[in-house]
Structure formats: C-alpha cells, structure tokens
Amino acid sequence: MCGIVGYVGPRQASDVLLGGLARLEYRGYDSAGVAVVSNGELDVTRRVGKLAALSAAVAETPVLGSTGIGHTRWATHGRPTEANAHPHVDCTGRIAVVHNGIIENYMQLREELAQNGHVLRSETDTETVAHLVESYYQGDLATAVRKTIKRLDGAYALSVVHLDEPNLIVAARKESPLIIGIGDGENIVASDIPAVLEYTREVLALSDGQVATVTASGVSVTDMEGNPVTPEMLHIDWDLAAAEKGGFEDFMLKEIHEQPKAIRETLLGRMDAKGQIQLSELQMTPEQVASIDRVFILACGTSFHAGLVAKTLIETWARIPVEVQTSSEFRYSDPIVDDETLVVAITQSGETADTLAGVREARLRGAKVIAITNVVGSRVTRESDGVIYTHAGPEIGVAATKTFTAQIAALNVLALKLAQAKGVMGTERVTALFEELSRIPETVEAILADLSAIDECAAEYTDVCSSLFLGRGIGVPIAMEGALKLKEISYIHAEAYPAGEMKHGPIALITPQVPVVVVATQGHTYEKVVSNIQEVRARGAEVIVVATHGDDEIGRHAEHVLYVPATAELLSAIPATIPLQVLSYRIAKLRGCNVDQPRNLAKSVTVE
C-alpha cells in the first residue's frame, strides 16, 4: 500500500524522505518519488520499481532543499509507470501532491479540469488534486487545500507543497492514516509511524477532515472550514530496533520468533486474583455481556481465519452462536445484525477498508462493535465502541504471523469472558483453561527451538506446483491459514478443505505431485482425520502431518511428521500454526522468494 513521508526542517529533505520511505517499504509498492523545494525550483524525481532506483537517481542528480514530500505508490488508478508515480504536479509545476487512498469522483474532476484548460499528464486520480489546488490557490496553500478536499469523494491522506510557500507542507486526511512526527525544529509528515521514529516519538494523529499546516517550527491544525482544532497527540513507545530485523534474515522470520512474547503480552493482566477474566475494553456491564446471544465476526485474510478459530471457541465454551464473514461480503450483504448482536471486527492493521466499512454498516444497524487490532490509534479504534489490543508490536512482513497468533490469544480471552459472564463455565474451569493458555508461549518456544524436521521437510517440496491442506474442527482454519501462508509467500498453489469434505471433489486433484498437509493434532475427530489421511495416501499423495508429541503411530501414515507439544484440543490452534508458518517460510526461501514483500501484496489494504 502507498506510503507518504514529508519533511520540513534543517536537514536535506531528500535524505529524510528516502530514509522514511525505506521504513515504509513493508507496505508494498511499485514506484516511488520525491519532490523537494530546491533553490526556487520544485525538483521532482520519480522511478518505477524499488526505492533503490529512486535513491540512485537522487544520488546522480542531488536535490538540495529542506522541504519536500515523498511517496511509495501501490498502483490503483493507472499502471505502475513513472508518469503515474507520485508526486504529481499542477500545470505550472509549482505545486506537488502525494496521496494515499482513492478519489472516487476523479473522472468527473478530470473532465471539469480539462474543460477549464488544465492539462493532466497521468492516469491517476491523484493528479486531479494538484490541479484543483492550483485552481483554488490565491496565496494561501492551506486555504486552497481545504477548498480542494471539499471537492473530493473517497479516501485520502494528502501532503502538498507549493513553491510560493517554500517552507511548509499542508497535510490533510480522510479515511487514510496520516500522522505528523513532532521534532525539535523539524517536523515529519508520514502515513505510518516507523517513518518518523528516527527523529521523534511524539506524534500528532490527524483525524478525518483535519488540515495541518506544517513548518519547521510548528504545526497548526484546522477543520475543513479553517477553524482551529486541538489534534490528538500520542507518545510512541516502539523503538526503532523493534521495527528492524533484529539479526534475523527477514522480518517474517523475526516475527515468527517474536510470537511467544506477542502472545504473552496479549494475555497479560487478563485474569484477576479471583479467577475473573478482565476485559473492560468491552465497555459493557456484566449484565450486558451476559445478555449477548449472537456474535458476528468481520475480518479479511488471516484475520478472517482468526475469526473462524474464535467461532469454535465461543460456540464451544460460551454456547453463543457465531457467524464469521469476510468484510468485503458483509458490507454488501444486507447483514442481519441489530442492537442484540455483538460484532467483533478483527484487523491487525486497523486500517483495512472493507473491515472499516463493515464496522460502519454494523453500527448503523445498531450493533455494538468491538475491534481487535494491533495498531494503537488506527482507524478502527476510532470507529468502534470498544477495542481489544493485541500486543504483538509492529509487524513489518506482509505475511501476518505474530499478529495472527496474538489475535487468537485475544479471542481465547474473549471466549472465556463470554463463557464466564453467561455462567456456562465455572470459575474453576475458566481458571484452568486460562492457565493452560498462559503456557502456550512456552509451547511455541519449544517448537521454535528445534526446526530441523521442518527444514528437512521443506527441502523436499520446493518444486511442487500445487498442494492441499486439510483439518477438522479447530484444525480447519489452521489448515486455511497454512495454505494462505504457503501461497502468498512461495507462490505455490495451496487449497484448504475440511478433511471430511475432500471426498466431495478435491480428492480428484490428488497425485503423487500434490503433497497434502494435514493438521492431525489430538482431538475428538483425530481418528477421522487419520482415515482421511489414509484416503489421500491410497491415491498416491505424500503427506505431511502436524501431530502431537507422543503420537508415534502417526508416522506410519505420513512422509513427514511435524510435532507440537500437547495442549487442550481448543488451545491447539496456536501451536499447530507455528510449523505451518515455518514450513511456508522455508519453502519460499528455498525458492528464492522475497518473503517480506511478496508480489502483488500490500501490508494493509486501505482501498476496497
């Protein structure tokens, strides 16, 4: 997804912009550019491809100046070409704009601008913003930007510079994240926190409809009418090292190894001395919690799989029916939710456009919405009635790993809370399960301590084209997540099915060339899973199983066994996930793939 950095202060702006954009690379992008106000000129450099190409161009023809804006673009309107790369300029070449989001009425705006004599040079929606600012500019950039954004339908985070006001950036947002790092004699605009951490931990979070005038000495914020507003300030605890690879080859591997900490911290303080689950974030009285009789979960991708795990947990423990829907379907499905429904929106980034739209839809229908997210101050936190944070720290790799297992940890707590509040489960049982849950980080550590079996297995399957992932019960979403991990980072086709469903079609795919990965940890359907394994083996498939330590028999039915320590059946989701993450990671690395930034993918999908 696109990234924005803007700088005004005493340093060379291009250095700060390129450094900041590098910190946002994890968002995924296909072109990049910077515009620097330099000796009475607006110097714009753009390149297709990775930042290295832009850095080389800037190094070849240095741009000196201390105010500038930069951008990494993930194409939405128009191909990833240099002409479509940001920053975009107006007809005079004196105004430059970078933008994240989508201007939905851009076709009408283009026509109007063209009729008024403007010449647009790209296929993008963003360029209309530069020309609108040009048409409204009468000596005050902030006023021109305010007039411009009133004309825009859609989502935007914008940063704008003008040669006539060389020492300022005007920034505005609606439904796309934008923050301003407050430095000492310098300020940095950015779409995401890692871009500013090198300079400051004090961050101003712009809200929708706010416009900021940013100079080296200060920031003033107004609403769209120009009335001064007091913006929200945040202190960021993350240090820069937390956002770097910490000695691992890739962010993804680092993040896989950070899971014990992420789960531990997510569970911290969740049970009091009396055995009561603490979840004040629900913002509900005990009576209100006890009266919940329907739960609806909204999420996308990996977060959706966490939602499916939660369905099993909540239905089994709290006996409350749970529906799980992908957010992109929910928003257009005329969903049956009302003020009796608890809606849980799961989104690690807190910025996923479809999930946010679902949250709005659910609230319009009277439902109470609880968000589960990893990002403090993210959009979903402002739009929900309550927020349960996962404490996984920043996840840089595009493939979700630690945020997934942290989500499951948080959802375990939610399920136990509901079970306790409804009186379905007594304190003794809740306490026992919570204690067992609290040991899951150690279980994960034990798995990560010896990855040799996974390495051996991965080496044998680097050349396959297709694979099947099977499970039953809580193993189904884990198989789905395993398949998603493999396909997104290694580009091997992977499909997941409930193991019992295989006979109804997918079994036709089985050949010796299509390995079958089976979640076969101990549980009430274990024997059934073993039968399914035999069915695929009878058709020549090679089988890789995730099984429970001590299950020596399973080795007779599989080419490879990836063992995980024993735990209660419904707590096995996290341990069973870990070998599948590592297996995908190793296979992808052996295939030479960029695991942190897989092709065509973005870390947070802030457009529909």
Residues carrying an active site annotation: 2, 603
**Is 347 near ligand M6R (CB under 6 A)?**
yes
How many Å apart are CA 105 and CA 161, to the nearest integer?
A: 23
Instruction: Assign 101 to helix, strand or coil.
Output: strand
CB of 305 to ligand M6R, least distance (A): 8
Would you say 176 or 604 has its CB closer to ligand M6R? 604
Say if residues 352 and 300 touch (Cβ distance below 8 Å).
Answer: yes
Amino acid at residue number 531? S
255 sits near ligand M6R (criterion: CB under 6 A): no
- In 3D space, the residue among 188, 177, 388, 428 whose CA is nearest the CA of residue 297 turns out to be 388
Based on the shown chain and the rule CB under 6 A, indicate whether residue 341 belongs to the binding site for ligand M6R. no
Residue of 113, 96, 199, 201 lying closest to 152 (CA atoms) = 113
Kindly state whether residue 348 participates in binding ligand M6R, applying the rule CB under 6 A.
yes
Cβ-closest position to ligand M6R = 301
Least separation in angstroms between CB 601 and ligand M6R: 7
Least distance from ligand M6R to the Cβ atom of residue 393, Å: 15
Nearer to ligand M6R (CB atom), residue 354 or residue 569: 354
Binding mask 168-207 for ligand M6R (x = CB under 6 A): ----------------------------------------
Name the strands in the sheet holding 165-174, side by side, starting at the edge strand that comes first in the sequence.
88-89, 95-103, 154-162, 165-174, 211-214, 219-222
Which two tokens mark 457? 């297995």
**604 contributes a contact to ligand M6R by CB under 6 A:** yes
Taking phi over 0 as left and psi of -120 to 50 as alpha, with beta for the rest, 93 belongs to: left
Strands 466-471 and 493-498, by their bridges, are: parallel
H-helix or E-strand spanning residue 161: strand 154-162
Question: Smaller CB distance to ligand M6R: residue 265 or 481?
Answer: 481
Q: Which is nearer to ligand M6R, 383 or 488 (CB)?
A: 488
Q: Is 349 in the site for ligand M6R (CB under 6 A)?
A: yes
CB 220 within 8 A of CB 229: no
Question: Site residues for ligand M6R, window 11-40 (CB under 6 A)?
Answer: none
Rounded alpha-carbon distances, angstroms, from residue 423 to 419, 429, 430? 6, 11, 11
Q: Check residue 567 for interaction with ligand M6R (CB under 6 A).
A: no
Listed as own residue / partner, the contacts of 270-274 with beta carbons closer than 8 Å and 24 or more positions apart are: 270/413, 270/434, 271/431, 271/434, 274/427
Instruction: Return the number of the residue (186 or 354) whose C-beta is nearest ligand M6R.
Output: 354
Stretch that binds ligand M6R, among 14-22, 140-148, 251-259, 347-355 (CB under 6 A): 347-355
- Here's the x/- map for ligand M6R, 367-406, by CB under 6 A: it reads as -------------------------------xxx------
Both ends of the chain: CA-CA distance in Å? 12
Q: Report how far residue 327's alpha carbon sits from residue 605's, in angstroms, rounded to the nearest whole number.
A: 12
398 vs 457, which CB is nearer to ligand M6R? 398
User: And the tokens for 106?
Assistant: 């851009």
Q: Determine, following the binding rule CB under 6 A, whether residue 352 of this chain makes contact with ligand M6R.
A: yes
**Helices marked H in 243-391:** 251-257, 259-267, 286-290, 301-318, 327-330, 353-364, 379-383
Which residues share a beta bridge with 173? 157
Q: Supply the minimum distance, in Å, between the C-beta of residue 380 and ligand M6R.
A: 8
Q: Minimum distance from CB of 330 to ligand M6R (Å)?
A: 13
CB atoms within 10 A of CB 261: 17
**Using rule CB under 6 A, residue 355 touches ligand M6R:** yes
User: CA 52, CA 62: separation in Å to the nearest integer?
Assistant: 15
| Minimum gap (Å) between residue 399 Cβ and ligand M6R | 4
CA atoms of 466 and 545, how far apart (whole Å): 17
Nearest approach, Cβ of 404 to ligand M6R (angstroms)? 8
Q: Could you say whether residue 142 binds ligand M6R (CB under 6 A)?
A: no
> Which single residue is written with the structure tokens 């299950």?
551
As a residue count, the chain comes to 608
Pick the closer one to ligand M6R by CB: 58 or 300: 300
The site for ligand M6R, by CB under 6 A, has a size of: 15
Contact (CB, 8 A) for 129 and 122: no
Q: What gap in Å lies between CA 492 and CA 282, rounded to an integer?
A: 40
Contact flags string 267-306 toward ligand M6R, x per CB under 6 A: ---------------------------------xxxx---
Compare residues 312 and 604 and give the one whose CB is closer to ligand M6R. 604
Q: Say what the alpha-carbon torsion angle 608, 7, 95, 224 is, to the nearest 10 degrees.
A: 60
Residue 66 C-beta: closest distance to ligand M6R, Å = 35
Smallest separation (angstroms) from ligand M6R to the CB of 300? 4
Q: Cβ 547 to ligand M6R, closest distance in Å? A: 25
Q: Which is nearer to ligand M6R, 136 or 248 (CB)?
A: 248
Q: Which stretch binds ligand M6R (CB under 6 A): 160-168, 342-350, 432-440, 503-511?
A: 342-350
Q: Toward ligand M6R, which CB reaches closer, 222 or 349? A: 349
Binding part of the chain for ligand M6R, among 110-118, 139-147, 258-266, 344-352 by CB under 6 A, reads 344-352
Binds ligand M6R (CB under 6 A): choice among 25, 90, 361, 488:
488
**345 scored as a contact of ligand M6R (CB under 6 A):** no
* Binding region for ligand M6R (CB under 6 A): 300-303, 347-349, 352, 355, 398-400, 488, 604-605
